[in-house]
Amino acid sequence: MDQIDAFWRAANYLSVGQIYLLDNPLLTEPLRPEHVKPRLLGHWGTTPGLNFCFAHLNRLIKEHDQDMIYVVGPGHGGPAAVALSWLEGSYSEKYPNVSRDAEGMRRLFRQFSFPGGIPSHVAPETPGSINEGGELGYSLAHAFGAAFDNPDLMVACVIGDGEAETGPLAASWHSNKLLNRRRDGVVLPILHLNGYKIANPTILARIPLEELIKLMEGYGYRPHLVGPDHLEMATTLDQAHSEIAAYKAGKADRLPMIILRTPKGWTGPREVDGLPVEGTWRSHQVPLTDVRNRPDRLAQLEEWMRSYRPEELFDADGRPVPEILRSVPVGPLRMSANPHANGGELLQPLRLPDFRSYAVEVKAPAVQSTEPTRALGGLLRDVIAANRSIFRLMGPDETASNRLSDVFSVTDRAWDAAIEPTDEHLAPGGQVMEVLSEHLCQGWLEGYLLTGRHGLFNCYEAFIHIVDSMFNQHAKWLESSRKIPWRLPVASLNYLLSSHVWRQDHNGFSHQDPGFLDVVVNKKAEVVRVYLPPDANTLLSVGDHCLRSRDYVNVIVAGKQPVLDLFTMDEAIAHCTRGLGILPWASTDAGTDPDVVLACAGDVPTLETLAAAALLREYLPQLRVRVVNVVDLMRLQPHSEHPHGMSDAEFDTLFTADRPVVFNFHGYPSLIHQLTYRRNGHPNLHVRGYKEEGTTTTPFDMVMLNDIDRFHLVMDVIDRVPGLGSTQAHLRQHMMDSRLRARAYTREHGEDLPEISGWTWPNAFSS
Amino acid sequence: MDQIDAFWRAANYLSVGQIYLLDNPLLTEPLRPEHVKPRLLGHWGTTPGLNFCFAHLNRLIKEHDQDMIYVVGPGHGGPAAVALSWLEGSYSEKYPNVSRDAEGMRRLFRQFSFPGGIPSHVAPETPGSINEGGELGYSLAHAFGAAFDNPDLMVACVIGDGEAETGPLAASWHSNKLLNRRRDGVVLPILHLNGYKIANPTILARIPLEELIKLMEGYGYRPHLVGPDHLEMATTLDQAHSEIAAYKAGKADRLPMIILRTPKGWTGPREVDGLPVEGTWRSHQVPLTDVRNRPDRLAQLEEWMRSYRPEELFDADGRPVPEILRSVPVGPLRMSANPHANGGELLQPLRLPDFRSYAVEVKAPAVQSTEPTRALGGLLRDVIAANRSIFRLMGPDETASNRLSDVFSVTDRAWDAAIEPTDEHLAPGGQVMEVLSEHLCQGWLEGYLLTGRHGLFNCYEAFIHIVDSMFNQHAKWLESSRKIPWRLPVASLNYLLSSHVWRQDHNGFSHQDPGFLDVVVNKKAEVVRVYLPPDANTLLSVGDHCLRSRDYVNVIVAGKQPVLDLFTMDEAIAHCTRGLGILPWASTDAGTDPDVVLACAGDVPTLETLAAAALLREYLPQLRVRVVNVVDLMRLQPHSEHPHGMSDAEFDTLFTADRPVVFNFHGYPSLIHQLTYRRNGHPNLHVRGYKEEGTTTTPFDMVMLNDIDRFHLVMDVIDRVPGLGSTQAHLRQHMMDSRLRARAYTREHGEDLPEISGWTWPNAFSS
């Protein structure tokens, strides 16, 4: 216990030092104002509890050679994670200039929350971390994601009682129903009740204790209560460890969890200016402020720091004394150096089948139809079969609905709760994870990827907005990680957004929102990729590419409804490699000098664009029309803005610099303007897209409501190509009449005109 | 019980009819294929349970004259809510063409999920509804929001076991800790376990029953278990009602909740083609498909519908028989006609103090500084005091941090859990709602607003992304509501985003994201407004305007840190009324013909722009500089796109059509391009803004990292005004040196150069 206590005191000392000190790290002389940082930043309140848990878990690791990582939910406690890593030596291994000695300690203190230094939170920069602690709520989902398919791993997850109020965390407790004792590792949740969030008590700290225990039992855990006491914590951890062993051996059904109750800001100043601080919300951030200017505060800080007895903890050179070093596990068993927390170290490439072998045969473009996601489902089936323990498919109960059900011929949905005879494709070992929570799908996948595995999240397009902020944080994690040499690349986070805005026939307005793309493109160009494959073969090509990539967020938008096959596999590969290109068979400009360009991105807009091109070919055969399809949206940006961006010369070659371009887009039109506003031809660019019109209606009525339909595109061409406005008024009127006829038929019959819903290239409008 | 059963059968019959029938609504002749819709859309699975609960709750309403509304979590069950409203007569009151007779029933059936008809989900179009059922997870938060400050109201909230897996719902159970028995109404949660979501069992239906009961007790409720049986349900509701009475009387501490277990698709087809349907996931949507083409299915549908014995339920004219009508409550006690569910009917305007009286005195622009949100806090304090039961302030534990703490001089944080001596400003009756869940803040506020009250949600800017999708759904609700004549306007949803991207000194990169604005502007222009007041007086003016408005989502971005006071109150009112304008005192173009325009939006970018203008005045006194500040971001759009949009002539007058404009923006630069790409002067517009660079650092280092600092703006001017590039190379170098000096000072001292952080108009750069 003394050894643990010494380690804990050392970590606390180093944490306080980071928040306060510029110099005099070992307090070898009395503290002077100039030793103190001018701006005092950081979060003390949660820090001693984080150090306490870590110190005790280390004993467990050493006793059992237990492979363990530490997920820090209260990630504001950055000083703790950094101090612990420094004590374990891993910090100096990653950052040799911050050595484990007095000079290194000085640098350790100075850099924290300091310009040019390190962030105040647990962050990618922090060794041993897979969970940024800024936006709260995801620690437990990350912990379970790390545990899946890691049968020997134990993930200790500290959950702050503030974080526990968030929705994602509240839902995460149920992750245990999808954890399998043989296939997966375990998670040990430690609910840290220090009683307060920023300025308020927390709910879980103020409900009756018996209620809290029932809550944890209701979530399916065996709760253990621990107070601020070394012996209690040690005994409880021993018991938890043996309960985990029993669970792993099939002798117990429930995993343990720990409710740790400590004062907030434990071991910090009891009172400041007569007001209680330790044990209250006042210790949330910096308990003693204005230290440079107030000698009494300076003295109180020194007293506080000396209360840890640094002279017993560090030798004269600032190195931790042997007693402390002895309590540190060896090499990769150190939680701050465990390779699972730097997943790139463990990353194995997927064994990928040749995606070409799933190709749809396409004898002529735009004649037959295929459900693109069903074709991808075949590829995913074999990816799953060939990568049993390193690939998971996540989705909020939509894998079958999204036509990926081929995967169920080789795997099942992970399910460790009760199974009944009428159930299909449920099993404890399944590689498909389905729960009606986009937060959990995202959180599990992030945890799974950051520990070195692969996966794909399939989701209704509209509802991926539910995890906008989680995407943001993961993208930020990747943005930061790419600058940290020791963070090795991890597999990309792949989204497949199906059941998209244009085909919500069942569900209507609430299910129609293509705006996730707008959120995505705000993140740094280095980490985001957006693909809109228009048919099955392009989806296969894009899918293969994304599964091979590293350190990106790939967003693929693809339909589950039948769409026209446009490309042979060879053509699809070429088209996806270029990212965009002219469809010569749909164009009438013979490759040069078009009168108008019809551009498109997305499967439904592409269908309408092709139909418009067919109408123009029929009615205005002299008009030179060029059809351009865009798969890789980032190609539209200037190369200066995105690595995939085209040069202006390339852009002008495809889109022209001076001819009207009618761009039919899957999402909100403004995104295309945002990407292209610097292009020469931008003043001539007219974009159609989703304009927030919709309801439960037929597919063609839906495109008409938003003016992206074939007839409206022809009207747009007439309005924009010089000369046509006056000469083709009758054709314009005919198009308008066609729309009215289509709408009238739909309103009367409840379905689309047969010639519209069954439209294909060779026979449509050919009479 | 017979009466309840008859009502239930009638509702089920009407629900099936909506999903299937075009004609022959009363089955007066044998069903023929042409009576059936060509596209079968809708969700049957949850529907009979929704009808069951409603029928039983009606008995409670009639027996106790209980004011009650019905929140339908499984909102996919649109047919239920519509059928119930039609049975109660309220549907025909709102939609006279859908009369309560045979012809009305025919129309009722036909319109459902039919082009030109009504959505398939519970939606704004549905009488009695405040909860769109498309995106799941918010029913219980909406229910509590409705109950706050409605002491006589009971909100029955059906929660699907699918929805119960979402994070927001899981967190919502704890709302009872902020509900007060005297001040507020009650919520009766009915957890409807029908066992399945789309293609999967649900977690709560498959955990041991004792675990589920503990979970509900752990959440602080008294659970009651009910099976699919009228008598059980009636008895349990009686007991729940008396428990609620005891709770209201202070004789019980816990509210009851009901766990209702029924088969999914109850009373629907048992089997289809030999596979079980009732009681399985197969009944989720349309249990019998292909009815038009398969005579056996047609016969099964007819048998199914006749199983409800419609001839006993409706008279020959299609009117509900008297027995059914007798079970319907009277007038506004009908849940489908309760005015709480059409909040505009109950809306009272806020009693607003004169916002001018909170003005900061400004003798000269840009000399003194004020914390804008603190000024707003004074106004909010008096709004709260004058509107005790119709205004709530929501926030995730940031009200004090956001400098709104003046409100605590007149109210407290709502808190019904334990209170300890060290707590401050906690009380059962508080009008401030704080919980560390943006989802709950948003959900409560939506429920509160949609039942006719007012409020404001204050939030860290970065973390408002957590509720992107909830904002989307609320905006869609408003977009739809505006087209429904009987939906009366409700108070706007007001966001105050403080602790914004530029001042995350403590928190760094994870807290830096201004992208919510990009999400917002994708919604229809009729419902979204975005304001970036640059100082205290403009914030007061904008705040007053937003609190008076109706049916909008207002987003206000304003700082909590001291910023320069720029406008007297009269000037602030004029500036905010125009939405943008020239700052003549900062400009050197004498109102005409500038060489360059410096535009800005947001407090920190405005400060840097003013400092850049001061530098230019000092170094290039001949240069005619115009400074334009934008408060109302929507003014930048063309008038054709947004009602606030300026004409091109107005735009050109302010920004010129041909001079360089350097626009310093609070958010991502692309948003300004998106709003202005059609303007004449757009090719000359150069936008600076957040480019995803940040960490824990000083305020000025942060603006430098993103190139929005004063020195960089001057460099931008030199680069863009013709002639300056060659003549002012030395000044450009001097600016670059100034940046390097500022950065070096910051890296060395950990704080900003004193002359930068203390910059004000009269003394900066004047030597």
Show the tokens assigned to A252. Answer: 């117990």
pLDDT digits (tens, 9 = 90+) for B302-349: 999 999 999 999 999 999 999 999 999 999 999 999 999 999 999 999
pLDDT at B12: 98
Contact A166 B523 (CB under 8 A): no
pLDDT at B763: 58
Contact B418 A37 (CB under 8 A): no
pLDDT digits (tens, 9 = 90+) for B455-510: 999 999 999 999 999 999 999 999 999 999 999 999 999 999 998 999 988 888 99
Do A225 and A256 form a contact (C-beta atoms < 8 A)? no
Instruction: Determine the number of helices (DSSP H) and then strands (DSSP E) in chain B.
Output: 27, 22
Q: What are phi and psi of B638, to 5 degrees?
A: -60, 150
> At a CB cut-off of 8 Å and minimum separation 6, what does B695 contact?
A118, A119, B508, B509, B705
Q: Using CB atoms, which residue from A132, A397, A668 is nearest to B199?
A: A397
Show the tokens assigned to B644. Answer: 């606030």
Using CA atoms, how far apart are residues B148 and B392, in angstroms rounded to an integer?
A: 9
Strand order in the sheet with B426-427: B426-427, B413-414, B432-434, B391-395, B454-460, B493-498, B553-557, B528-531
Which residue of chain B has the CA closest to A41? B506
* Portion of chain B with pLDDT greater than 70, in percent: 99
- Closest by alpha carbon to A376, among A497, A575, A541, A495? A541
pLDDT digits (tens, 9 = 90+) for A709-720: 999 999 999 999
Angstrom CA distances, B71 to A270, A684, B147, stand at 48, 49, 11
In this predicted structure, the answer to whether residue A150 has a pLDDT above a threshold of 60 is yes
Which residue of chain B has the CA closest to A219? B215
Average pLDDT for residues A208-236, to the nearest whole number? Answer: 98
Q: Using CB atoms, which residue from A37, A170, A399 is nearest to B170?
A: A170
Contact A751 B510 (CB under 8 A): no
Contact A120 B506 (CB under 8 A): yes
Which residue of chain A has the CA closest to B222? A211
* Portion of chain A with pLDDT greater than 70, in percent: 99
Does the CB of A140 have a partner CB in chain B at under 8 Å?
A: no
In this predicted structure, the answer to whether residue A765 has a pLDDT above a threshold of 80 is no
In this predicted structure, the answer to whether residue B75 has a pLDDT above a threshold of 90 is no
In this predicted structure, the answer to whether residue A762 has a pLDDT above a threshold of 70 is no
Widest pairwise Cα distance in chain A: 96
pLDDT at A422: 87
pLDDT digits (tens, 9 = 90+) for A437-492: 999 999 999 999 999 999 999 999 999 999 999 999 999 999 999 999 999 999 99
pLDDT band at A226 (very low <50, low <70, confident <90, very high): very high
Per-residue DSSP letters for B647-680? PHHHHHHHH-SSS-EEEEESS-HHHHHHHHTTST
Which residue of chain B has the CA closest to A220? B211
Q: Using CB atoms, which residue from B120, B465, B668 is nearest to A506?
A: B120
* Portion of chain B with pLDDT greater than 90, in percent: 93
In this predicted structure, the answer to whether residue A545 has a pLDDT above a threshold of 90 is yes
Q: Which CATH code of 3.90.1150.10, 3.40.50.970, 3.40.630.10, 3.90.120.10 fits the domain covering B2-323?
A: 3.40.50.970
Do B260 and B226 form a contact (C-beta atoms < 8 A)? yes
Number of A/B CB contacts below 8 angstroms equals 364
pLDDT digits (tens, 9 = 90+) for B89-122: 999 999 999 999 999 999 999 999 999 999 999 9
Q: Using CB atoms, which residue from A76, A673, A749 is nearest to B38?
A: A749
The domain at A580-757 falls in which architecture?
3-Layer(aba) Sandwich (3.40)
Q: Which residues 30-69 of B have a C-beta within 8 angstroms of A?
A: 37-39, 41-43
**Number of other residues whose CB lies within 10 A of the CB of residue B197:** 28
pLDDT at A763: 58
Show the tokens assigned to A167. Answer: 């929705």
Using CA atoms, how far apart are residues A384 and A399, in angstroms rounded to an integer?
A: 14
B47-64 and B2-20 helices cross at what angle (nearest 10)? Answer: 140
In this predicted structure, the answer to whether residue B765 has a pLDDT above a threshold of 50 is no
pLDDT at B458: 97
Distance of CA B126 to the CA centre of its chain: 19
pLDDT digits (tens, 9 = 90+) for A619-632: 999 999 999 999 99
Average pLDDT for residues B178-185, to the nearest whole number? Answer: 96
A290: closest CA of chain B, how far (Å): 14
Locate CATH 3.40.50.970 in chain A. 2-323, 372-563
Q: Does domain A372-563 have CATH number 3.40.50.970?
A: yes
Mean pLDDT across chain B, nearest whole number? 96
Mean pLDDT across chain A, nearest whole number? 96
> At a CB cut-off of 8 Å and minimum separation 6, what does B639 contact?
B645, B646, B647
> How many residues belong to chain A?
767
In this predicted structure, the answer to whether residue A133 has a pLDDT above a threshold of 90 is no
Q: Using CB atoms, which residue from A165, A206, A216 is nearest to B418?
A: A206
In this predicted structure, the answer to whether residue B760 has a pLDDT above a threshold of 90 is no
Does the CB of A436 have a partner CB in chain B at under 8 Å?
A: yes
In this predicted structure, the answer to whether residue A404 has a pLDDT above a threshold of 80 is yes
In this predicted structure, the answer to whether residue A307 has a pLDDT above a threshold of 60 is yes
Q: Using CB atoms, which residue from A437, A673, A674 is nearest to B167?
A: A437
What pTM does this model have? 0.97
In this predicted structure, the answer to whether residue A244 has a pLDDT above a threshold of 90 is yes
Taking CB atoms and an 8 Å cutoff, what residues of chain B touch A424?
199
Radius of gyration of chain A (CA): 30
In this predicted structure, the answer to whether residue B742 has a pLDDT above a threshold of 70 is yes
Does the CB of A461 have a partner CB in chain B at under 8 Å?
A: no
Contact A162 B397 (CB under 8 A): yes
Contact A171 B165 (CB under 8 A): yes
pLDDT digits (tens, 9 = 90+) for A550-596: 999 999 999 999 999 999 999 999 999 999 999 999 999 988 899 99
Average pLDDT for residues B654-679, to the nearest whole number? Answer: 96
Taking CB atoms and an 8 Å cutoff, what residues of chain B touch A434?
199-200
Q: Using CB atoms, which residue from A76, A132, A468 is nearest to B468?
A: A468
Average pLDDT for residues B563-591, to the nearest whole number? Answer: 95
* Portion of chain A with pLDDT greater than 90, in percent: 93
Which residue of chain A has the CA closest to B468? A465
Locate CATH 3.40.50.920 in chain A. 580-757
Distance of CA A345 to the CA centre of its chain: 20
Contact B437 A166 (CB under 8 A): yes
pLDDT digits (tens, 9 = 90+) for B611-657: 999 999 999 999 999 999 999 999 999 999 999 999 999 999 999 99
Show the tokens assigned to B47. Answer: 């529907």
B567: closest CA of chain A, how far (Å): 31
